[in-house]
Amino acid sequence: MSAPGEIRSLRARRSLLFVPGDDARKIAKAAASGADCVVLDLEDGVATDRKLAARQTVASSLSSLQFGGSERLVRVNPVGSELHPGDIEATLSSRPDGYVLPKVESPEQVQQLARRTFPSPLPLLALIESARGVLELKEIAGSDPRLVALLFGAEDLTADMGAVRTRAGQEAAWARGAVVVAAAAFSLQAIDTVFVDLHDEEGLHRESLDACGMGYAGKMAIHPKQLSLIHQAFTPSDEEIAKACRLVEVHARHQDQGKGAFALDGRMVDWPMVRAAEHLLARARAAGKI
């Protein structure tokens, strides 16, 4: 694991496009969508009587389809469910790039998935989407070196809390903040919840910008048409990149002259601003912009 707070160079995970694992047509579309990650779902997106068929469709899609530069992830059913072991058995030999584990509530669940998928050193992503999961964040975030990201699932969480989902999202705000803080403390990526209103583009863009501003690295998507707005929100603009480069350069020059804090364009600059600029440049690098 990296040291807490260290800026790791990470794979871009601006968008994680979910696709029901039993729908070969949608999987083919997802493979060609340009999403940073495609999540082939065996859990909530698949009807109970289609679960076994979905395993076969996911396995054959992984073996036969080209996914371009997209990371190919499989979301299995939760550890402890009857379906979980068979989900892994049926998909591991088709060489996914990683697994998404839903409804994570303890470090042991992540460790169990790590053991089950051993010796493949596959990245694991944990969905935090229950009250218990939020309370156990610190233990889960530190559970296994193969864990690379925490995903925040507001729909399941608010259902678990008995809360009413609103457009402003204040019912999920505390947990949304807790997930990104836990991820940062353990140098993991944080991925924001789905935006379920397929017609509200302005709402999706605003929520994506909010998440990016909070420190989230990306957002889950449920439809290919959500990808361009999500990518736009999580990719630093040319202007932001130029500003960050300048700040880092000017800071280095002042350090050489023995000056810690200095003024740039009428604003005080010291280490926190430099670290923020370095974070932005790491995101730009991951997105292939520099």
H helix intervals, 162-216: 170-185, 201-214
Cβ closest to ligand COA, residue 30 vs residue 217 = 30
- Report the partner that residue 20 touches, choosing among ligand COA, Mg ion, none (CB closer than 5 to 8 A by kind): ligand COA
- Could you tell me the smallest distance in angstroms from the CB atom of residue 155 to Mg ion? 6
Cβ proximity of 40 and 73 under 8 Å: yes
Q: Which residue is nearest to Mg ion (CB)?
A: 44
Map the footprint of ligand COA across residues 29-48, applying CB under 6 A: 29-30, 41, 44-45
- Mind spelling out the 3-state secondary structure of 155-167? HHHHHHHCCCCCC
Q: What is the dihedral sign for C-alpha 138, 144, 147, 151?
A: negative
26 binds ligand COA (CB under 6 A): yes
- Could you tell me the smallest distance in angstroms from the CB atom of residue 37 to ligand COA? 12
44 binds Mg ion (CB under 5 A): yes
**What would the two tokens of residue 76 be?**
């299995």
Q: Which residue is nearest to ligand COA (CB)?
A: 45
Strand-pairing partners, residue 56, are: none
51 binds ligand COA (CB under 6 A): no
Among 19, 172, 175, 179, binds ligand COA (CB under 6 A): 19
Question: How many Å apart are CA 152 and CA 285, to the nearest integer?
Answer: 24
Cβ proximity of 42 and 87 under 8 Å: yes
Active site residue 210: no
Give the CB-side neighbour count of residue 69, counting CA atoms within 13 A.
11
156 binds Mg ion (CB under 5 A): yes
- Report the partner that residue 156 touches, choosing among ligand COA, Mg ion, none (CB closer than 5 to 8 A by kind): Mg ion
Cβ closest to Mg ion, residue 159 vs residue 276 = 159
Question: How many Å apart are CA 197 and CA 221, to the nearest integer?
Answer: 11
**What would the two tokens of residue 178 be?**
């807790």
Question: How many Å apart are CA 72 and CA 82, to the nearest integer?
Answer: 24
- Could you tell me the smallest distance in angstroms from the CB atom of residue 289 to ligand COA? 25
CA 231 vs CA 114, 179, 242: distances in Å: 30, 21, 19
- Could you tell me the smallest distance in angstroms from the CB atom of residue 20 to Mg ion? 12
CA 158 vs CA 215, 228, 250: distances in Å: 21, 27, 45
160 binds Mg ion (CB under 5 A): no
Map the footprint of ligand COA across residues 213-242, applying CB under 6 A: 222-224
- Report the partner that residue 19 touches, choosing among ligand COA, Mg ion, none (CB closer than 5 to 8 A by kind): ligand COA
**Omega before 119 within 30 of 0, i.e. cis:** yes
If binding means CB under 5 A, how many residues of this protein chain bind Mg ion? 2
Cβ closest to ligand COA, residue 23 vs residue 144 = 23
Cβ closest to Mg ion, residue 113 vs residue 286 = 113
- Expressed in angstroms, the distance from the first to the final Cα of the chain is 25
Binding site for ligand COA (CB under 6 A): 17-20, 25-26, 29-30, 41, 44-45, 194, 222-224
- Hey, which residues are catalytic here? 270
Binding site for Mg ion (CB under 5 A): 44, 156
